[in-house]
Amino acid sequence: MSRQNHRVSVRLLSIAIAAILASPVVLAQEAEDESDSSNATLETITVTAQRKEEDVQKVPISMTILDAEKLDVIGSGGDDIRVLSGRLPSLQIESSFGRLFPRFYIRGLGNTDFDLNASQPVSLIYDDIVQENPILKGFPMFDLDRIEMIRGPQGTLFGRNTPAGVLKFDSVRPNEVADGYGQLSYGTHGNTNFEGAVGGALGGDWSGRLSALYQRRDDWVDNTLNGEGDDLEGYREHAVRGQLLYAPSDDFEALFNLHLRSLDGTARLFRANIIQAGEGGLVPGFDRETISIDGANSQELDTWGGNARLRWDLDGFSVYSITGYETVDTLSRGDIDGGFGAVFAPPFGPGFIPFTAESADGMPDHSQFSQELRLESNTDADLQWQAGVYWFNEDISIDSFNYDTLSPGRPQNGYARQEQDNTAYAVFGSLEYAATDTLTLRGGLRYTHDEKDFVAFRTQSPLSFLGVGPIGPLYANPSDGDVSWDLSAAWALSDDWNVYSRVARGFRAPSIQGRLLFGDVVSVAESETVLSFEAGVKGNFWDNRGRFGASVFSYEVSDQQLTAVGGGANFNTLINADQTVGSGFELDAEAYLTDRLLVTAGFSYNDTEIQDAALAVQPCGGGCTVFDPAGPIAGTVLLNGNRLPNAPLKIANVTARYGIPMAEGELFFYTDWAYRDEVSFFLYDSAEFNGAALLEGGLRVGYNWNNDNYQLALFGRNITDEQELVGGIDFNNLTGFVNEPRIYGVEFTARY
């Protein structure tokens, strides 16, 4: 957007917030006088960041909790897991696959790799099962009890690739009380979302819960090459989760979970030459509702999995067994050049199209199996402990295709395959000691061994006209073992305030990149380790009407695994940076400013820097303006001193909810805003391939009645209709992709 338009958007934002907060005040004055005293208090939040239930204010870790109501609000428009980006301090999420494949960054640490075998330093734990493959990380959010974001290395108790942190999702568990809900919304572009659950006692010590999600959106982007009419950006998605809980006594329970997801829709839309050359930002006159591409665009996904979580309470300790299985089948195909034709096959456009690029990636075979056995003390002694073993195995096959867009029928002209077997095991333990009534010490240790057997080959090359042919099989067999650990201390300054400090070491095993469609080598990144320091304060104030948390941190990553994406050669390569450093702070706060007005706010500052004087990559091949100095090899640039990609310096969010009691219920107003600073999309710095600061807001006005069992609400997402670059493709032309459009609609919820 232009600076003038951005100023207009800021003014609109200011007016919107003022109107939202002023309107209920006027209505409240008309309804009844509000008492000067406040009786509203915040509920205690129980979390499992340390694998046991604790008050969040006493856990010596920087973390943020997202409750069910806030999740309902921000998900009103049918957005996928990327909607969490910027709504939790230090969290950035982006994707070049759309709904299929989210990429997470915490405190600036993440991975821009788009390969289906990419390793990420942020772990997603869904119902106690690690979702290792990036496709698994996109499982929808529905019927959740809470989301916990745990920042910093968590390698002691959560062992799969957690040097940056963990996102932990917990579904609502079955119980013997009959309950359920249904939620239906309809909005712009035919946005239809249904979410519901039903559960209760089944008899004979059994209870169950069945949860379901259905989401759809009509095509709303017109491909102008085939005449008028909307062609793209629609999707149909559904997911189901069934749970059975067997609890014959207080000393034993077994919770079984079966879940599936299916998606049929549009892959990410890449748009040719929408970036202003030499300065960045969207070109004047950009229209989000039109595109001109001559390639196919589609996305299909089917996943399912199950897990069994068992607990035995014995004399002095408890035993936990957690068994999980996940599998994926997916294929995503898109027009990567983002336009039509080519300079050698006119007509072509929009802008300069040097060559066509249409490809697909699929995962026809995938299976993940994990098993954890953990023992935990359950006494009142000053010394508490946990210990366990963990085993993980993943088998994966990836197909990469390329297509001749300009030939009739778009025949396949390239094929490559990757196969990998990954086995890892770990042993771990932790201690917690109440040294005094006010001082608690914690420490943990984990040894992890990881081994990968990888093979890749190419049977058909899209560059055959240059004499390039089949290659392989090429093999890689990296393995490594390392120790993760953490030490922390928490001091209770009073009944309401705690301070803590923590030092932790994390580890990520070697990674492999073997996309041979346009390359002839397999790259292997060595193990990375991170040493992190943080200190913080957490407390309650105003007689438990307010809650506050703040932390400062710094970290050093040795041999950080980075991905040189695209570039002039259009080839992904894994590299290790000698050292990366980061530092910053995070704030979380929420408070009842009055009985009726609840405000939450979050802010983070993350400063990152690559420190490696010799590290160089090939920059863009699409005509961008590169700021980095030339590297030792012709056509490369040096990265030393650059910030990490997709690592905004500042992230902020705020929500405000105002409720007005009425005779039969409550009228409420809810607004939420998320801001992220500018970001660079790639390792190198350029004028074009970066995203300007982005501010998106939502609004919800509704009415609750019948003891909050029913709700009718009007909602809007991205209400100022901001449009901004959120990613790019750099090997062909100035291709980019943009954020989600404005959505508004109506939603009805019924509970019993």
Q: CATH code at 639? A: 2.40.170.20
Asked whether residue 289 carries a pLDDT value surpassing 50, the answer given is: yes
pLDDT tier for residue 322 given thresholds of 50, 70 and 90: very high
Q: How far is residue 168's CA from residue 109's CA, in Å, rounded to a whole number?
A: 17
Contacts of 587 (CB under 8 A, 6+ apart): 89, 548, 549, 550, 601, 602, 603, 604
pLDDT tier for residue 54 given thresholds of 50, 70 and 90: confident
For residue 533, CA distances in Å to 448, 490, 581 come to 22, 14, 12
The candidate with the shortest Cα–Cα distance to 294, out of 336, 352, 264, is 336
The pLDDT, as a whole number, for residue 29 is 40
CB distance 270 to 233 below 8 Å: no
Give the pairing type, strands 479-492 and 511-513: unpaired
CB distance 620 to 566 below 8 Å: yes
The pLDDT, as a whole number, for residue 31 is 38
Residue found by looking up tokens 């003891």 in the block: 707
Q: How far is residue 269's CA from residue 98's CA, in Å, rounded to a whole number?
A: 8
What are the backbone angles phi and psi of residue 710, rounded to the nearest 5°?
-130, 145
CA contacts within 13 A on the Cβ side of 243: 26
The pLDDT, as a whole number, for residue 568 is 72
The pLDDT, as a whole number, for residue 47 is 82
The candidate with the shortest Cα–Cα distance to 588, out of 535, 547, 647, is 547
> For residue 665, what are its two tokens?
């219920």
Asked whether residue 43 carries a pLDDT value surpassing 50, the answer given is: yes
**Burial readout 216-243 (b: 16 or more C-beta within 10 A, e: otherwise):** bbebbbbbbeeeeebbbbbbebbbbbbb
Give rounded-to-5 percent helix, strand, coil for the chain.
5, 55, 35
CB distance 652 to 672 below 8 Å: no
Asked whether residue 184 carries a pLDDT value surpassing 60, the answer given is: yes
Strands (E), 191-234: 191-203, 206-217, 221-223, 230-232
The pLDDT, as a whole number, for residue 22 is 39
The candidate with the shortest Cα–Cα distance to 114, out of 419, 740, 615, 564, is 564
| Mean pLDDT in residue range 81-91 | 95
The pLDDT, as a whole number, for residue 24 is 38
For residue 536, CA distances in Å to 344, 489, 491, 588, 638 come to 60, 11, 11, 11, 36
User: For residue 30, what is the enclosing H or E element?
Assistant: helix 3-31
Q: How far is residue 101's CA from residue 137's CA, in Å, rounded to a whole number?
A: 7
For residue 708, CA distances in Å to 661, 668, 704, 711, 752 come to 11, 12, 5, 7, 10
pLDDT tier for residue 484 given thresholds of 50, 70 and 90: very high
The pLDDT, as a whole number, for residue 1 is 39
**Portion of the chain with pLDDT greater than 70, in percent:** 95
The pLDDT, as a whole number, for residue 67 is 85
Least confident of 63-72, 184-193, 242-251, 574-583: 63-72
pLDDT tier for residue 128 given thresholds of 50, 70 and 90: very high
| Mean pLDDT in residue range 557-572 | 88
Three-state secondary-structure class, residue 13: helix
Q: How far is residue 506's CA from residue 638's CA, in Å, rounded to a whole number?
A: 27
| Mean pLDDT in residue range 509-536 | 95
The pLDDT, as a whole number, for residue 11 is 41
The candidate with the shortest Cα–Cα distance to 64, out of 486, 439, 590, 514, is 590
Range of the domain at 79: 3-751
Q: How many domains is the chain built from?
A: 1
Region of 31 please: left (phi>0), alpha (psi -120 to 50) or beta: alpha
**Burial readout 615-653 (b: 16 or more C-beta within 10 A, e: otherwise):** bbbbbbbbbbebebeebeeeebbbbbebbbbbbbbbbbb
Q: How far is residue 730's CA from residue 338's CA, in Å, rounded to a whole number?
A: 11
The pLDDT, as a whole number, for residue 10 is 40
For residue 366, CA distances in Å to 133, 181, 256, 267, 328 come to 9, 34, 22, 21, 5
137-170 per-position pLDDT tens digit = 999 999 999 999 999 999 898 877 899 999 999 9
Asked whether residue 644 carries a pLDDT value surpassing 60, the answer given is: yes
The pLDDT, as a whole number, for residue 16 is 38
The candidate with the shortest Cα–Cα distance to 254, out of 174, 314, 171, 316, is 174
**Which DSSP string do the residues of 375-406 spell out, in sequence order?**
EEE-S-SSEEEEEEEEEEEEEEEEEEEEE-TT
> For residue 614, what are its two tokens?
């010799």
CB distance 258 to 241 below 8 Å: yes
pLDDT tier for residue 87 given thresholds of 50, 70 and 90: very high
CA contacts within 13 A on the Cβ side of 228: 0
Give the pairing type, strands 122-126 and 735-738: unpaired
Asked whether residue 571 carries a pLDDT value surpassing 90, the answer given is: no
Its pTM stands at 0.93
Each as own residue / partner, the long-range contacts of residues 481-484 (CB below 8 Å, 24 or more positions apart, any chain) are 481/447, 481/448, 481/449, 481/450, 482/447, 482/448, 482/507, 482/509, 482/527, 482/529, 483/445, 483/446, 483/447, 483/448, 483/507, 484/153, 484/155, 484/156, 484/159, 484/445, 484/446, 484/448
Q: How far is residue 145's CA from residue 751's CA, in Å, rounded to a whole number?
A: 15
The candidate with the shortest Cα–Cα distance to 704, out of 670, 651, 749, is 749
The 10 Å Cβ neighbour count of residue 479 is: 14
CB distance 686 to 625 below 8 Å: yes
Asked whether residue 540 carries a pLDDT value surpassing 50, the answer given is: yes
| Mean pLDDT in residue range 565-584 | 90
Averaged pLDDT score across all residues of the chain:
92
The pLDDT, as a whole number, for residue 483 is 96
pLDDT tier for residue 232 given thresholds of 50, 70 and 90: very high
494 secondary structure, DSSP code: S
